[in-house]
A and B are shown apart, each in its own frame.
Chain A
Amino acid sequence: MRNFILAILFAFLCSAGLAVSAQDAAPLQAAANQAQAAAADAAKAVETAKSAFPKKLSDLEAKIPGLKRNSQMSEPDECFDWYEDPATGHVYLVYVWGNAETMAKFEADAAAVAAEKLLAGDEAGAKLVTDNAKSVVEATRAAKGYGLVYSVSFAKGKDLHDGREILIVKPVNRSKGKVILARSMAVENMKDGLLVASSLETGDVVGEFLPALLYNESVREGSQAKSLPGFGTAINNLWHSTGIYDIYRQTTADFSKTWILGLGRLLMMFVALILLYLAIVKGFEPLLLLPIGFGALLANIPLAGISGPDGLQGMIYMVGIESGVFPCLIFMGVGAMTDFGPMLANPRTALLGAAAQFGIFGALLGALALNVVPGITFNIKDAASIGIIGGADGPTSIFVTSRLSPSLLGAIAVAAYSYMALVPIIQPPIMKLCTTEAERKIRMKQLRAVPKIEKICFPVLITLLCAFLLPDAAPLIGMLMLGNLMRECGVVDRLSDTAQNALINIVTIFLGIAVGSKLSAEQFLSLQTLGILVMGCCAFCIATAAGVMFAKIMNLLSKEKINPLIGAAGVSAVPMAARVANKLGLEYDSQNFLLMHAMGPNVSGVIGSAVAAGVLLSLCGGL
């Protein structure tokens, strides 16, 4: 009975509920229909807006009648231009390389150069310039200004601040270059399919931006709630986010031009593994080659963008290397570890450190001569950066290259550190070739003991000398001398200890990681890298030979003989080059200890290479 009553009550409640539902159903249905219609309208609007995003400048001009080129926002560069919609204030970034205006400007520039040559009486040169310009213009027009995209660092809906890199593009017949915003912008829309390894043609609209003076990060409640896409789409998205897919996509986008971005990454990962092998198994400069090798591995991970402007390596590079901070801090540590006593005891050996810098300038000339090889183009700044490898000083090489030719940094840093590790292999044959057995047996007078006060005054003296003679080298020499003063003064042992150990170790880790970020496939896999490696080796050889030969010249002019082997220590590479000289000396006379004598040219080589770096920065920095 009780169950019966309960069943009736349940049936009643259900029917009542159904009745209420039926009563409410009509307005709810209407509301649902309205919402559905609104959603469909919104989707249609979005679709329309998407399809309405103009692909070409001509579409943009048809869509926006009052469109005008914004000359104030345009950089004096011929590859990209800004076009502004005066009604909305939106601006459009358009790829313009290859259009009539840019080609006319190119021809006009070439005509000006040809005219200069004609005035100088160089008719053949003028004709060469004119012919070359004509062929470039024809080729560029035929390729429709083809620009290969190497990096995309912006996305729809992002707020970008001024100074931010958004693209790296290699236009046909031009060098690869970054596209950097000179104003803060919000990204409203961007070209469909704008990905790494995609291409641009003359007149392509790259993106729509809204210049911004202020950003407010506040959001409406609930406005960020979005649901996941459908199962199929989600799986597709996941597949597209894998490294395998991205390597395949980039390789096959336009194989002859984009394989470097796809397969090239795998090759560079292999190069990174070789660097790790050399560091761990062979013990070649492990302190640097290990972080550089691992940094190279990280930089070549597809899609992660670790070496991009938002990635860890990119940020470390910007903070530490682009600013020149890391090489200077390393120099401080080197100064804190260096004893300038041997040089102070026998000052004339410092000249050997000067002679060895001939390797830098010899390699500079060699790098310029490499321009005869098709596919290799080095300007004077590139050549200066390559030449500095001959200084056998990693931080100096990085400092100069980051200022003169940042795109060559990876190859130059790897060459500099690799060859420094190979000093015991590279130098002895050259030293033997340049000296006789009798010269190798020359014994040198024992060095005097240098008083502490001299060692303390020395760093101050050199800093003042640098300030008066070569301020461009002041960041490097100044920090070297600060570290040395901390070591010698004896009142800041804690600071000296930190500079020698903790600080230099920390900076070395970051320096290696940041340099590794420049070992990306598109920057490293080129004929130029081969040229850099060859010229780097030549620079070391020339520097060694120059040091030894100069010691022989000094012996001709002086009564007090110098063992020419110590001239080879004039290439910095402290203290490895001095050890090599000592070892070779001992091979011919087991009682002839040259280590302390070789330390003189060795430490003067550090100063000499910093001075050479300052000269190169001073000569080429303003070009």
Chain B
Amino acid sequence: MNLGSLIFDGLKAMVLGMLWVFCFLSIMIVCMKVMSKALAPFSNFLEPVAPAPKKKKASGAKAALSPEDRVRALAAIEAVKLYRAGK
């Protein structure tokens, strides 16, 4: 087989191969989206149930924080809010 026909075979393989890979993954994406929508009502099904948090006395929790810690916590919350807002 001469080089020309070999290269032509290679081109055929390339076109078919890339086409098939894109088709497969595109169909996969569509299926994933459909599946995601179809399963949305059951999203909590099979999820591990988190143990209910023990209620703590608010006054006790507040009392545990020193004024400095409280300022730091507020600053951290504000920073997260700004980051999420993209600023």
Contact = CB atoms under 8 A, between A and B. Distances in A.
Interface residues of B, number: 38
Given A358-B18, A470-B20, A350 B25 contact: yes
Nearest to B26: A351
Contacts, number: 127
Bin the interface of chain A by size.
Answer: 35 or more
A618 to B, nearest CB: 9
B17 A619 contact: yes
A344 interface: yes
B76 interface: no
Contact of A453 (B2, B14, B31, B39): B39
Interface of B: 1-3, 6-7, 9-11, 13-14, 16-18, 20-29, 31-33, 35-36, 39, 42-48, 83, 86
Interface in A349-365: 350-351, 353-354, 357-358, 360-362, 364-365
B56 to A, nearest CB: 26
B55 to A, nearest CB: 26
Interface of A: 125, 128, 343-344, 347-348, 350-351, 353-354, 357-358, 360-362, 364-365, 368-369, 371-372, 379-380, 383-384, 443, 451-454, 456-458, 461-462, 465, 469-470, 490, 591, 604, 607-608, 611-612, 615-616, 619-620
Contacts of B22: 351, 354
Contact of B21 (A354, A443, A456): A354
A327 B70 CA distance: 56
Contact of A364 (B3, B13, B86): B13
A344 B7 contact: no
A465 B10 contact: no
B14 A362 contact: yes
B27 to A, nearest CB: 6
B44 A351 contact: no
Nearest to A361: B14
Query: Which of B1, B18, B23, B39 has most A Cβ within 10 Å?
Result: B18
A344 B21 contact: no
A456 B43 CA distance: 12
Contacts of A365: 7, 10-11, 14
Contacts of B13: 361, 364, 380, 384, 615-616, 619-620
Contact of B39 (A371, A384, A451, A616): A451
B10 A368 contact: yes
Nearest to A355: B22
A457 B39 contact: yes
Contacts of B16: 615, 619
A354 B33 CA distance: 17
Given A451-B47, A456-B46, A465-B24, A361 B17 contact: yes
A174 B68 CA distance: 84
Contacts of B26: 351, 354
Nearest to B23: A469
Given A371-B3, A380-B9, A616-B17, A350 B44 contact: no
Contacts of B6: 368, 371, 379-380
A118 B6 CA distance: 19
14 contacts: A344-B32, A344-B36, A354-B22, A358-B18, A362-B14, A364-B10, A365-B10, A379-B1, A458-B35, A469-B24, A591-B83, A608-B21, A611-B21, A615-B20
Contacts of B2: 125, 128
